[in-house]
Amino acid sequence: MKAQFPEEQGAGGQFTRQEDEFREWVSSVGSSAWPAQADRYHLYVSLACPWACRTVILRHLKGLEDVIGMTVVDPVRDDRGWAFRDGPGFSKDPINNFAFLSEAYLATKPGFKGRYTVPVLWDKETRRIVNNSEDDICRMFNNAFNGLGRHDVDLFPADLEDEHSKLNEFLYENINNGVYRAGFATRQDEYEGACKRLFAALDTLEIRLASRRYLFGDRVVEADWRVFCTLVRFDAVYHGHFKCNIRRIVDYPALQGYLQDLCQQPGIAATVNMDHIKRHYYVTHEDINPTRIVPVGPELHLDQPHGREGLSH
């Protein structure tokens, strides 16, 4: 069977995600090579991509919309990679007039051979990519740009640092990347193993969230948005397209209410573009969905009452 990303497919049929290439760090310290400055950096994202959407959410929550510009790519990606085009919810590149995101990668590292991924944090002054790791970008938005945005919002609280980091590892390995390990597997045993680990992790979260409103009680941290970006795509894409179909999120009372609760936080629903999400996965992954037919459902009802206000600890 042909792999979706052959360079990231192991001999045993397992999907192994490539490492992020660019890991420079923006700092609020004046001596930094990458100082935190308003209108210096630009964020390239896809609203279809859960990794990129986490940076979109952090940018919004930290009040950085007027500090860091953002351009959304066409959700339908082909063998040339992500493209800048005018369309509903996406646009041409106003910063560099790039036609494809690959141009940003090659401008930063001529001869780059990896996959061109989103998000990308671009420095307009040096005209290069600073960072393409969503984990790093989220931390920079929270910390380095704190003085330029909402300093009253802290998504990485110091008193939770160790437990937060440990939970994020669990979420990444079993849920965020777990859906891709199942969906991109090219052997039955690899698919089944990834799928079972995914649902065991979801079962664990269901128990945790049955007695507390958010992952750490009554305050929302970055880990909540990490899991949100996977959950909001689950029933529409991962359940059918990636064959993660033991259960749906709507079959989990706590997880479904938690998903609705987060989606109803101010400004968050605007970061969820289900048209982009479904068209990207069902049209782009033609090895998985050769007809490229995009399903009309399911109805998600994310605006319905969630009933979680009474939960705290």
Active site residues: 49, 180
118 within 8 A of 102, measured Cβ to Cβ: no
Tell me if residue 145 falls in helix, strand or coil: coil
Task: Give me 259's structure tokens.
Answer: 């998903």
What's the rounded Cα separation, in Å, for the pair 59 and 53?
Answer: 10
272 within 8 A of 313, measured Cβ to Cβ: no
Q: Can you list the positions of beta strands (E) in the chain?
A: 41-45, 69-72, 120-123, 128-131
Q: What are phi and psi of 28, to 5 degrees?
A: -80, -10
What's the rounded Cα separation, in Å, for the pair 254 and 210?
Answer: 5
What's the rounded Cα separation, in Å, for the pair 307 and 313?
Answer: 15
Burial class (CB in 10 A: 0-12, 13-18, 19+), 227: buried
61 within 8 A of 55, measured Cβ to Cβ: no
Neighbours of 303 (CB within 10 A): 10
What's the rounded Cα separation, in Å, for the pair 209 and 196?
Answer: 20
- Comparing CA positions, the residue from 85, 90, 40 lying closest to residue 66 is 40
Sheet containing 128-131: give its strands across.
Answer: 69-72, 41-45, 120-123, 128-131
- Comparing CA positions, the residue from 147, 134, 149, 121 lying closest to residue 40 is 121
